[in-house]
Amino acid sequence: MNVPQAIVQVSVREFAQRAAEVSADALQLIDVREPQEAAIASLPGFTLVPLSQSEQWVETLPAQLNAHQETYVLCHHGMRSAQMCQWLMAQGFTNVKNIQGGIDAYAIDVDRSVPRY
């Protein structure tokens, strides 16, 4: 019987600190929000992979990513990113982290220049 793994949750401050400690290419950064959301507010280095468009990437995304690289997933508040984390872990990804509170929490706690919506 396969027991679902618990999703590793990191705060926006923990993510910001980790991102500052390593080179930009050391982390895989996935943003699962919609393009119109990313147009309002986005963080550098994140690849937009809208959760709602999964039929367009579900077959190809795992091959485009490194299943063992440290991977952070972002959305608006942390719910859609948690769904993506669960999916990635089901695909065999071993180092996936959900950014708690999403870009909204990042805008409040880390960088107030990031627009809120």
Query: Of the listed 75, 84, 107, 110, which one is catalytic?
Result: 75
> In whole angstroms, how far apart are CA 117 and each of 5, 31, 41, 53?
31, 16, 8, 21
User: What distance lies between CA 48 and its chain's CA centroid?
Assistant: 9
Catalytic annotation on 75?
yes
Largest CA distance in the chain: 47
What type of residue sits at position 73?
A: V
Q: Which of the residues are catalytic?
A: 75
